[in-house]
Amino acid sequence: MDPQTVFCHSPTCPARGQIGRGNIGVHSREDRRYICHVCKTTFSSSKGTAFYRLRTSQDVVVLVVTLLAFGCPLQAIVVAFGLDERTVINWQKRSGKHCQQVHQHLVERPRDLGQVQGDEIRGKVQGGIVWMAMGLQVSTRLWLGGVLSTSRDTALITILMQKVRACALCRPLLFCMDGCQAYVKAIRSVFREAIHTGTAGRPHLRPWDGIFMAQVVKQYAGKRLVAIQRRLVQGSAAQVQALLQRTQGGGTINTAYIERLNATFRACIFALVRRGRALARQTTTLHTSMYLVGTVYNFCTDHRSLRVAILLPAGRRHWVRRTPAIAAGITDHRWTVKDLLSFQVPLPRWAPPKKRGKHSRATQALIQQWCS
């Protein structure tokens, strides 16, 4: 137990979320509990992880969650481990929610995306179908997040684009997608910046510079692909070609990267299997599954096309494998599923209570100590 690597989880504590400030001590080695000397609360070493308050050993939970993240059928796990079905579903839900927090904390940060591809997959839930829309950064193969909805409309794509925007810096950005018109509308409405002039009323919204859009429309005769049409919706051919060169090493406008990722999701989530019998009982199950599969893909899975060669003497080469998170510079090593489930997302820093006039001396001392 190392108190220098943990932080206080109490939402009202002025020292919440801060690591290595000397406010945490060991309360009990036997019960694996820490104490915060600022707010005097004690907390378990598993607080903030997916293992919090679970009675089963962490190794069994990690094993079961790993199998779920790679598409092992729930019934197989129930039989093999002798667990109750509800227990396994509960672990899947809590690990999915944990992965969503990790994703929001580490992936949803502004970065130069270059090229983003978006697509939707059709899934089955009890009583109908559901659409899962997802985004991918092409150069690092980083999964940028996904959204679920019962209809494939502008509202769904707009929420997806808001997620992509949370990951984007205002730099040249190319979107490649299918012929769905909702993308064009959603991208134009989301990628805008408010210009504050100090006058009353809603500020004027100015579109981002350097947003390019391209569509890939596939035409089928029966089940056979007969033609592919590539359309430029926004931007010149030269600008788009320059971004394609930077993000995928040249080539043509395509949606191949997101389609490959869709195949991974289809293989790992039973409700997305084409012509399968399985369906998800609730949309929330599909939502937690999506975050579990997506985050394990980003942080724990080496991507063959992301490997880099290191030249050794005598012309030999050593290949270094990388995960999408390594390629995006989020981490420097491949995480295990246990690393992912035990990652503690830090709480945002404490903000002093709002009040008119001066704060008391005691509060001023806390502000000076913990807000600087």
Residues making contact with Zn ion (CB under 5 A): 8, 10, 13, 15, 36, 38-39
The least distance separating Zn ion from the CB of residue 347, rounded to whole angstroms, comes to: 10
The least distance separating Zn ion from the CB of residue 105, rounded to whole angstroms, comes to: 20
The least distance separating Zn ion from the CB of residue 28, rounded to whole angstroms, comes to: 17
Residue closer to Zn ion, measured from CB, 23 or 100: 23
Which residues, other chains included, contact 168 with Cβ-Cβ below 8 Å and sequence gap of 6+?
Answer: 110, 111, 113, 116, 191
Residue 243 φ then ψ, to 5°: -70, -35
Considering only CA atoms, which of 342, 288, 371, 228 is closest in space to residue 88? Answer: 288
Tokens of 338: 């246990």
Residue closer to Zn ion, measured from CB, 36 or 174: 36
Which residues, other chains included, contact 232 with Cβ-Cβ below 8 Å and sequence gap of 6+?
Answer: 212, 213, 214, 240, 253
Residue closer to Zn ion, measured from CB, 6 or 240: 6
The least distance separating Zn ion from the CB of residue 34, rounded to whole angstroms, comes to: 10
In contact, 157 and 175? CB cutoff 8 Å:
no
Residue closer to Zn ion, measured from CB, 8 or 164: 8
The least distance separating Zn ion from the CB of residue 12, rounded to whole angstroms, comes to: 8
The least distance separating Zn ion from the CB of residue 1, rounded to whole angstroms, comes to: 17
How long, in residues, is the chain?
372
Considering only CA atoms, which of 115, 169, 167 is closest in space to residue 145? Answer: 167
Which residues, other chains included, contact 212 with Cβ-Cβ below 8 Å and sequence gap of 6+?
Answer: 172, 173, 174, 175, 232, 234, 235, 239, 240, 243
The least distance separating Zn ion from the CB of residue 207, rounded to whole angstroms, comes to: 45
Residue closer to Zn ion, measured from CB, 48 or 145: 48
- Dihedral (CA of 243, 248, 253, 256) sign: negative
In contact, 359 and 371? CB cutoff 8 Å:
no
Per-residue b or e along 197-236, where b marks 16 or more CB atoms closer than 10 Å to that residue's CB: eeeeeeeeeeebeebbbbbbeeeeeeeeeeeeeeeeebbe
The least distance separating Zn ion from the CB of residue 38, rounded to whole angstroms, comes to: 5
Q: Looking at residue 181, what DSSP letter applies? A: T
- 362 sits in which H/E element: helix 361-370
Residue closer to Zn ion, measured from CB, 25 or 73: 25
Q: Looking at residue 5, what DSSP letter applies? A: G
The least distance separating Zn ion from the CB of residue 101, rounded to whole angstroms, comes to: 20
Residue closer to Zn ion, measured from CB, 265 or 350: 350
Residue closer to Zn ion, measured from CB, 39 or 367: 39
Euclidean distance between CA atoms 252 and 27, whole angstroms: 60
Euclidean distance between CA atoms 293 and 295, whole angstroms: 6
Residue closer to Zn ion, measured from CB, 43 or 265: 43
Pairing of strands 224-234, 204-207: unpaired
Residue closer to Zn ion, measured from CB, 43 or 335: 43
- Strand blocks (E) in the chain: 24-28, 33-36, 42-44, 115-125, 128-137, 142-149, 173-177, 192-195, 204-207, 211-221, 224-234, 303-311, 317-322
